């Protein structure tokens, strides 16, 4: 492979010259192998942040990242596969009811997930609140569970797109996470390497999301959808609102309990709406003609959930851990809750112990925030608005501070806002 001087490539991108395919392939391989220093790759990430990448560069960059690792092969399964990826939000527990629901419709769901960092929770952290449940499976165990149960939610092995793991760690500490081409290639390299037939993307927009503006979220969705299509993965994206948290809980065990309510036929309306919308997209992309609403109503999604948890050592009947301390934040006036800021709730849950500041930190299974009202609800002075759950009561003052200013009560009901904002296809 041709040799390049990395500093020339950094200068080229810095000055706005698109990189050649051979340059990109060399850069990604050399960085993964250790021949490009982290400080040089950090400079490149910053140059990409400011200059972007055109579609050809992005496609080559993503393919080069995929080729640094293994690719899984689900072609031996007896049913089609569909996966979902969310760009992350507060109270976003949708994967938990969604995976068993789609499996109940006859589609295999390989949901390779991660842990949370910062104010958004990680799916694995949530499921680890269930006594006995284990996140790590070998590829053989994963395939067996997909065939026998239909759904698996487990840790992504380190073999998929190792370039991304290394690059993400740099971006995390150099202020370059938010670059749209880098997010698109990061997500899509892992999903394409995973080998799913179809993919539904939930691209969040709003205060609690990576993408704060609709324009940026649309651009991210468009670029991911075209990467998927180019790799023969049927890909569709929904743009969904993350101004307010999803559902009534933010925190690991609390979100598991809410997900089980949805599977039992109840649960908050927004969680049910988004679960069904994403399930319909996944089932349709997989070419299966079943309405997920029927599988939720007849209990078969709950059956798959129970088998999926048990297959990974969890006890679906075990009581979830409860917090040692619960404090209440009350409404200071009577009126309508007009705003509830997702970021403020996410930060409060994180400070209570539901999230981690560094990768190696533990999380509390029972910590988090329960919302007693959502925007549009009528509230009366003195009524509970939030419950703060934690095992470490010294965190409560800082959680209260995070919430202060994160909600508003006014005399008039706010206009109701749609949850699903757009649908983007190739
Ligand atoms: N999630 C990812 O996997 N990668 C990013 O760059 C951002 C969110």
Ligand 1 and 187: CB distance under 6 A: yes
Ligand 1 and 137: CB distance under 6 A: no
CA–centroid distance, residue 176 to ligand 1 (Å):
11
Per-residue confidence of the chain (426 residues) as pLDDT tens digits? Answer: 558 999 999 999 999 999 999 999 999 999 999 999 999 999 999 999 999 999 999 999 999 999 999 999 999 999 999 999 999 899 999 999 999 999 999 999 999 998 876 677 799 999 999 999 999 999 999 999 999 999 999 998 889 999 999 999 899 889 998 899 999 999 999 999 999 999 999 999 999 998 999 999 999 999 999 999 999 999 999 999 999 999 999 999 999 999 999 999 999 999 999 999 999 999 999 999 999 999 999 999 999 999 999 999 999 999 999 999 999 999 999 999 999 999 999 999 999 999 987 778 889 999 999 999 999 999 999 999 999 999 999 999 999 999 999 999 999 999 999 999 999 999
**How would you label 183-216 residue by residue, b for 16+ Cβ within 10 Å and e otherwise?**
bbbbbbbbbbbbbbbbbbbbbbbbbbbbbbeeeb
325 is catalytic: no
Residue nearest to atom 2 of ligand 1 (CA): 187
Helix residue ranges, H only, 195-299: 214-230, 252-263, 269-285, 292-297
Burial class (CB in 10 A: 0-12, 13-18, 19+), 3: exposed
Token duo for residue 94: 């949708």
CA angle, residues 208, 271, 242, in degrees to nearest 5: 15
84 is catalytic: no
Ligand 1 and 239: CB distance under 6 A: no
The active-site residue, picked from 83, 125, 164, 197, is 164
In DSSP terms, which residues pair with 200 in a beta bridge?
84, 236
Helix residue ranges, H only, 52-116: 55-66, 95-104
In DSSP terms, which residues pair with 325 in a beta bridge?
390
CA–centroid distance, residue 146 to ligand 1 (Å):
25
Residue nearest to atom 3 of ligand 1 (CA): 187
- From 84, 186, 199, the mutation candidate for ligand 1 (largest count of ligand atoms within 8 A of CB) is 186
Residue nearest to atom 6 of ligand 1 (CA): 183
Other CB atoms closer than 10 Å to residue 242's CB: what's the count?
Answer: 30
Ligand 1 and 180: CB distance under 6 A: no
CA–centroid distance, residue 349 to ligand 1 (Å):
21
The active-site residue, picked from 79, 119, 190, 204, is 190
In DSSP terms, which residues pair with 386 in a beta bridge?
329, 371
Could you write out the three-class secondary structure of 292-354?
HHHHHHCCHHHHHHHHHHHHCCCCCCCCCCCCCEEEEEECCCCEEEEEECHHHHHHHHHHHHH
The active-site residue, picked from 13, 51, 84, 171, is 171
CA–centroid distance, residue 342 to ligand 1 (Å):
19
CA–centroid distance, residue 47 to ligand 1 (Å):
18
């Amino acid at each position: 492979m041709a040799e390049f001087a990395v500093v020339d490539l950094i200068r080229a991108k810095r000055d706005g010259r698109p990189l050649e395919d051979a340059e990109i392939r060399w850069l990604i391989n050399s960085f993964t192998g250790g021949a490009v220093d982290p400080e040089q790759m950090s400079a490149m990430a910053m140059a990409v942040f400011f200059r972007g990448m055109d579609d050809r560069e992005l496609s080559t960059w993503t393919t080069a990242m995929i080729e640094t690792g293994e690719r899984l092969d689900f072609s031996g399964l007896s049913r089609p596969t569909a996966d979902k990826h969310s760009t992350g939000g507060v109270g976003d527990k949708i994967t938990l009811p969604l995976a068993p629901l789609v499996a109940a419709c006859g589609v295999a769901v390989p949901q390779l997930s991660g842990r949370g960092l910062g104010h958004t929770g990680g799916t694995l952290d949530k499921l680890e609140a269930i006594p006995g449940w284990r996140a790590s499976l070998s590829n053989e165990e994963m395939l067996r569970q997909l065939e026998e149960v239909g759904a698996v939610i487990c840790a992504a092995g380190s073999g998929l797109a190792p370039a991304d793991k290394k690059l993400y760690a740099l971006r995390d500490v150099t202020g370059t996470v938010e670059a749209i081409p880098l997010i698109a290639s990061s997500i899509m390299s892992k999903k394409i390497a995973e080998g799913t037939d179809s993919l539904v993307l939930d691209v969040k927009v709003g205060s609690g999301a990576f993408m704060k503006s609709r324009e940026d979220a649309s651009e991210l969705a468009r670029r991911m959808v075209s990467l998927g299509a180019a790799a023969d993965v049927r890909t569709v994206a929904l743009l969904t609102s993350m101004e307010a948290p999803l559902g009534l809980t933010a925190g690991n065990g609390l979100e598991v309990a809410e997900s089980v309510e949805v599977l039992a036929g109840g649960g908050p309306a927004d969680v049910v709406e988004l679960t069904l919308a994403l399930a319909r997209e996944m089932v349709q992309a997989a070419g299966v003609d079943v309405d997920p609403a029927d599988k939720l109503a007849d209990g078969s999604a709950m059956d798959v959930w129970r088998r999926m948890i048990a297959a990974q050592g969890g006890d679906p009947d075990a009581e979830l851990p409860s917090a040692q301390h619960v404090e209440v934040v009350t409404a200071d006036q009577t009126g309508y809750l007009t705003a509830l800021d997702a970021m403020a709730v996410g930060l409060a849950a994180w400070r209570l112990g539901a999230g981690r500041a560094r990768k190696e930190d533990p999380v509390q299974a029972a910590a988090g925030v329960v919302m007693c009202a959502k925007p549009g609800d009528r509230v009366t002075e003195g009524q509970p608005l939030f419950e703060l759950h934690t095992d470490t009561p010294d965190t409560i003052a800082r959680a209260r501070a995070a919430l202060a200013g994160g909600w508003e009560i006014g005399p008039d009901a706010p206009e109701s806002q749609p949850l699903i904002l757009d649908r983007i296809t190739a």
